[in-house]
A and B are shown apart, each in its own frame.
Chain A
Amino acid sequence: MSFFFEVLIGGLLSGVMYSLVALGFVLIYKASGVFNFAQGSMVFFAALTFVGILEHGVNFWLALPATLAVMVVLGLAIERVVLRPLVNQPQITLFMATIGLSFFLEGLAQMLWGANVRGLDLGLQDEPLQAIADATGINVSKFDLVAAGIAALLVSSLALFFSHTRIGRALRAVADDHQAALAVGIPLQQIWAIVWGVAGFVALVTGLLWGARNGVQFALTFVALKALPVLILGGFESVPGAIVGGLIVGASEKLAEVYLGPYVGGGIEGWFPYVLALAFLLIRPEGLFGEKIIRRV
């Protein structure tokens, strides 16, 4: 029984990682209506830049703000070069532009910092927390707990930001209708710059945590794809939804792999979340937290 809990908790905690990636998606979607396929590449870029800066002998605590600055500049550049010319184009066009963007960022990151796999040491060990292990016999990684804590902090502050500030409201207006927002005088460019900057910050945090866990490598970009089922379960526009979705995907994926995997030769993790999301969509096309779309004729 405790094995089950171990797998479950391990799954939930890895789900936290998915939530972080999904969070980046939700931020950008909520604020600009753009589905940013390049989020995974941004995570990869952030992690790789951080490690690259470290390798040049820069102190850990200096490298962090430096990378953050790079991500913010990157966000501004994306807004200026990619989004501004595409204002008011249909969603599908913007989506495809972000696919192109993801390829571009991957190539750029590897060109700047090389393609070797690197480790990332955050000073946290991936060992079981002794106290909990002694009390309940379940092994819970210290690393995972800290990651969960950071994610919780990030999520709650972002949720508050969106619902309680003036800028948050402006962001939601922009997501609904670019032109209308412009017409009311919302400074579109500034808003987008802010949003992509914040998304860059989230990407950095995600990149650091993922990189420390699995090493900084190209496969990191595929993490973004895993975030899609998370978004479907949680809805594209909901910050709490991203968390719930991430937890569900993480837990179910691990449980399926452990308990169903042996019957079919393993490797279920690769597609299980997608099929789960698909099944879910058939019942509730808007996701758990999404809003029902009513179409007037």
Chain B
Amino acid sequence: MTRPIGDVVLALESISLSFGGVKALTDISFDVREHEVRAIIGPNGAGKSSMLNVINGVYRPQQGTITFRGKPRRDMNTHDAAAQGIARTFQNIALFRGMSVLDNIMTGRNLRMKATFLEQAIWWGRARNEELEHRRKVEEVIDFLEIQHIRRTPVGRLPYGLQKRVELARALAAEPSMLLLDEPMAGMNVEEKQDMCRFVLDVNEQYGTTIVLIEHDMGVVMDISDRVVVLDYGRKIGDGTPDEVRGSQAVIDAYLGVAH
């Protein structure tokens, strides 16, 4: 049961970001509504990952305002973002290679664990109960993403597709209200892509999580997203429903390879 799309939960106004002399983003403005699936598309180097990094607090924009849940600010603080329910996955998988799948996903529950290290050292009372309760929650996520068989495997040994799934699991374990996905289907075959799409849609439908998604596969984007933002060379060149964007001349030029 798809939830009805709600009000604007995230609004970006006139965001500009540069690294030294390179302008990654120029004057970008768009918004994201609650419970929707918003896709960001564009050719390579358009600034899509940088956009997610700005939303998430990894980069600080030089100009512009980010309004999250009604509170405007100059930039986002990574810890605040996590505490306020934003979780994400990365383009080049950012899993903790020395730990098992289970431990990696448990780190996603980090913000909800209140026991101090001393309590954990004794492993009694609050620390123990917390650990078991969060384990229960993490197992739900593991069931949801069908990765029970690799629970104890060190993450470094998994094939690429499974690593991506584990990264998604870690993000989901935090019970986020907004999920930022950076090319979750990169490098996957058709079957794996279908699985991943199913997971993303299930998350959106079951938990009502708002999804902001960077993706290259046009089929996927048109199928599952509610609205699309198109970036090119750091500027916004399209914003609307998939059909509107598909028909836009600027987008066709940028994406279908007409020299410009």
Chain A residues within CB distance 8 Å of chain B: 296-297
In the complex, 7 of the A-B residue pairs with CB atoms within 8 angstroms, ordered by the A residue number, are A296-B92, A297-B49, A297-B53, A297-B58, A297-B90, A297-B92, A297-B94
Count A-B pairs with CB separation below 8 Å. 7
Number of interface residues of B (CB under 8 A): 6
Chain A residues with CB under 8 Å of B58's CB are 297
Nearest chain A CB to B98's CB is how many angstroms away?
A: 11
Chain B residues within CB distance 8 Å of chain A: 49, 53, 58, 90, 92, 94
A-B pairs with lowest CB-CB distance, top 5? A297-B58, A297-B90, A297-B53, A297-B94, A296-B92
In the complex, residue of chain A having the shortest beta-carbon distance to the beta carbon of B50: A297
Main secondary structure of the interface of B (DSSP, over half): loop
Nearest chain B CB to A257's CB is how many angstroms away?
A: 42
In the complex, residue of chain A having the shortest beta-carbon distance to the beta carbon of B53: A297
Nearest chain B CB to A142's CB is how many angstroms away?
A: 49
In the complex, residue of chain B having the shortest beta-carbon distance to the beta carbon of A294: B19
Q: Considering the chains assembled together, what is the distance between the CA atoms of A297 and B92 in angstroms?
A: 7
Chain B residues with CB under 8 Å of A297's CB are 49, 53, 58, 90, 92, 94
Q: Considering the chains assembled together, what is the distance between the CA atoms of A297 and B89 in angstroms?
A: 11
In the complex, residue of chain A having the shortest beta-carbon distance to the beta carbon of B20: A294
Q: Considering the chains assembled together, what is the distance between the CA atoms of A70 and B53 in angstroms?
A: 55
In the complex, residue of chain A having the shortest beta-carbon distance to the beta carbon of B94: A297
Q: Considering the chains assembled together, what is the distance between the CA atoms of A297 and B53 in angstroms?
A: 9
Nearest chain B CB to A294's CB is how many angstroms away?
A: 8
Chain A residues with CB under 8 Å of B90's CB are 297
Nearest chain A CB to B202's CB is how many angstroms away?
A: 27
Chain A residues with CB under 8 Å of B49's CB are 297
Chain A residues with CB under 8 Å of B53's CB are 297
Nearest chain A CB to B55's CB is how many angstroms away?
A: 13
Nearest chain A CB to B247's CB is how many angstroms away?
A: 34
Chain A residues with CB under 8 Å of B92's CB are 296-297
Nearest chain A CB to B76's CB is how many angstroms away?
A: 14
Nearest chain A CB to B225's CB is how many angstroms away?
A: 24
Q: Considering the chains assembled together, what is the distance between the CA atoms of A11 and B8 in angstroms?
A: 66
Nearest chain B CB to A220's CB is how many angstroms away?
A: 38
Q: Considering the chains assembled together, what is the distance between the CA atoms of A297 and B78 in angstroms?
A: 13
